[in-house]
A and B are shown apart, each in its own frame.
Chain A
Amino acid sequence: MQLAVFPLPIFLLPGGVTRLRIFEQRYLRMVKEAAGDKGFALTAFYDDLPNNVSDWATWVKIVNFETLPEGLLAIDVKAEKMLSISDVTVEPDGLRQGTAKVIEHWQQQAHSKDTKQLATSLANVYQDYPELAELYPQPQFDNATWVCQRWLEIVPLANKDKSLFVQEKSYQQAFQFLRTLVLAKK
């Protein structure tokens, strides 16, 4: 599958929502072409890689958009799946395109005492940061996978380190990581 590639220093796992403001022509074109079910690939921005594109990406779809007073386009994108990205090419206007393949991400995980605690602390974060809460009108605090994914997106950790959690079988590591960081459990 061919998808437009948008490198940004953002980390988004399936289910994650973020708001982007678009005002470069090439990305406006990307948004146009991504309309409907197609979406585009959000890749991590790397300084030192060709085209600054990582070999993995998040497949995002546009779930909402609005034109801001200054004429900027704001889009809310929701992450659907993780992707591998290869054969990146750059079109004349600078828009990157790549070949994308879906990589599975974590299986549904059952809630444990610890993940419930993580859910509670995540809910507290959302309470303190309404801008974040707004992105999730229906937060899934009863879903352990969802809770860990959202936590990872917002913890202060370099994207290169976060990229370890892209792997399909990384749930356990992610959970352990959050357990140490948020719950102070060894």
Chain B
Amino acid sequence: MNKEIQIHDTGQGTANKLSGLTSTLQVKDPESVTPEKRIASKSMSNENTADKQTASVDQGTGDPDSKQLAAWLIAVANQRDKQAFAKLFTWFAPKIQRVSQRKFNNENLSVEIVQETMTNVWRKAHLYYPEKGAATTWIYTIMRNVSFDLLRKMKSQQNEILSDDIWPMAEQANDDEHEFRDHLLDQQMLNLVEKLPDAQKEVLRAVYFQELTQEQLAKQLNIPLGTVKSRLRLALTKLKQQMANTDENSDTKKSARGEKHD
């Protein structure tokens, strides 16, 4: 239960950092290796080099910059541009796969995460707002959500599958990338945790924040899960009653004696 606290920015630095790690990975989607049509925005700066990218991500020759990535994403949103999507796929799929593979150590799962993530990118591209931040950040957020969903599905086997770091630790903050300094990933992750149903919240909290899950506690105490749940409820109810009583007592005492409440 090593604690993993993810408070970080994800920006283009991620892409740069990860591309080094993924240079040997091959993209399997055949669509992604047909870079033809020029797309979207005229503001794209390294359109040409990006077009020459091949399926194996080759660092140094054709890394798209964040403007380029955003432009592709916008082309997908506005024109349902398949070529632009192929380029996004070429760029992101190996990174997502690599990160997921490392976190889950399961090839099927990481492929599933790539597919789900990229499908969502295709479906939800219109929800991307460039003024709110980098495309990289947006796509990695989707990847996280996909992983969250998968975690939910895998809850029953969590002990085998969850390692102490589920999320891409390699995504180190890039100092030049100020746009995401605070407001997206750290809070978003925490907010997401808050929004999960209780059981999932608990699993995640336990993984991140070094608590025992109810299941783990049940195992530890050698009692059924249901018993842990009912004991927790009982203990909490009693606690709240006690607290209420204490407050009442001290309030009564306070008013009776005219003392200041500590």
List the B side residues contacting A22 at CB < 8 Å: 7
Interface contact A70-B186, CB-CB below 8 Å:
no
List the B side residues contacting A47 at CB < 8 Å: 190-191, 194
Chain A residue at smallest Cβ distance from B206:
A156
Tell which of A70, A154, A156, A176 touches B172, judged by Cβ atoms closer than 8 Å.
Answer: A70
Interface contact A20-B236, CB-CB below 8 Å:
no
Chain B residue at smallest Cβ distance from A28:
B173
Interface contact A180-B235, CB-CB below 8 Å:
yes
Tell which of A8, A18, A176 touches B239, judged by Cβ atoms closer than 8 Å.
Answer: A176
Number of A residues with CB within 8 Å of any CB on chain B? 47
Q: A72 interface residue, CB < 8 Å from B?
A: yes
Q: How many A-B residue pairs have CB under 8 A?
A: 117
Tell which of A21, A161, A180 touches B238, judged by Cβ atoms closer than 8 Å.
Answer: A180
List the B side residues contacting A70 at CB < 8 Å: 169-170, 172
- B131-173, CB under 8 A of A: which get 1 and which 0? 0000000000000000000000000000000001000011011
- A2-14, CB under 8 A of B: which get 1 and which 0? 0000001110000
Q: Say yes or no: A155-B9 contact (C-beta < 8 A), given A173-B243, A176-B239.
A: no
Q: A19 interface residue, CB < 8 Å from B?
A: yes
Does more than half of chain B's interface fall in helix, strand or loop, or is it mixed?
helix
Q: A125 interface residue, CB < 8 Å from B?
A: yes
Q: Say yes or no: A173-B242 contact (C-beta < 8 A), given A24-B9, A156-B212.
A: yes
List the A side residues contacting B103 at CB < 8 Å: none
- B205-240, CB under 8 A of A: which get 1 and which 0? 110111111100100110100011001101110110
Q: Say yes or no: A25-B239 contact (C-beta < 8 A), given A9-B193, A125-B212, A184-B231.
A: no
Measured CB to CB, the closest approach of chain B to A40, in angstroms, equals 13
List the B side residues contacting A24 at CB < 8 Å: 7-9, 173, 181, 186
Interface contact A19-B2, CB-CB below 8 Å:
yes
Measured CB to CB, the closest approach of chain A to B67, in angstroms, equals 23
Q: Say yes or no: A94-B235 contact (C-beta < 8 A), given A52-B187, A156-B217.
A: no
CB proximity to A under 8 Å, residues B171-203: 172-173, 175, 181-182, 186-187, 190-191, 193-194, 202
Q: A71 interface residue, CB < 8 Å from B?
A: yes
- Taken together as a complex, chains A and B put the C-alpha atoms of A129 and B7 apart, in Å, by 25
Q: A106 interface residue, CB < 8 Å from B?
A: no
List the B side residues contacting A10 at CB < 8 Å: 3, 5, 209-210
Interface contact B236-A125, CB-CB below 8 Å:
no
Interface contact B193-A156, CB-CB below 8 Å:
no
List the B side residues contacting A182 at CB < 8 Å: 221
Q: B4 interface residue, CB < 8 Å from A?
A: yes
Interface contact B3-A20, CB-CB below 8 Å:
yes
Q: A141 interface residue, CB < 8 Å from B?
A: no
Interface contact A155-B239, CB-CB below 8 Å:
no
Measured CB to CB, the closest approach of chain A to B181, in angstroms, equals 5
Q: Say yes or no: A173-B239 contact (C-beta < 8 A), given A132-B1, A156-B217, A181-B231.
A: yes
Measured CB to CB, the closest approach of chain B to A70, in angstroms, equals 6
Chain A residue at smallest Cβ distance from B239:
A177
Q: A107 interface residue, CB < 8 Å from B?
A: no
Measured CB to CB, the closest approach of chain A to B91, in angstroms, equals 21
Q: A121 interface residue, CB < 8 Å from B?
A: yes
Chain B residue at smallest Cβ distance from A90:
B182
Q: Footprint of A on B, CB under 8 Å?
A: 1-5, 7-9, 164, 169-170, 172-173, 175, 181-182, 186-187, 190-191, 193-194, 202, 205-206, 208-214, 217, 220-221, 223, 227-228, 231-232, 234-236, 238-239, 242-243, 246, 262
Could you write out 13 A-B pairs with CB less than 8 Å apart? A9-B205, A10-B210, A18-B210, A21-B4, A21-B169, A22-B7, A24-B7, A93-B181, A153-B210, A157-B232, A161-B236, A176-B235, A180-B234
Q: Footprint of B on A, CB under 8 Å?
A: 8-10, 18-27, 45, 47, 52, 70-72, 93-94, 121, 124-125, 128-129, 131-132, 153-157, 161, 164, 168-169, 172-173, 176-178, 180-182, 184, 186
Beyond the given pairs A18-B210, A21-B169, A70-B170, 7 more chain A to chain B contacts, judged by CB atoms under 8 angstroms and listed by A's residue number, are A23-B7, A94-B182, A153-B211, A156-B217, A177-B236, A180-B231, A184-B227
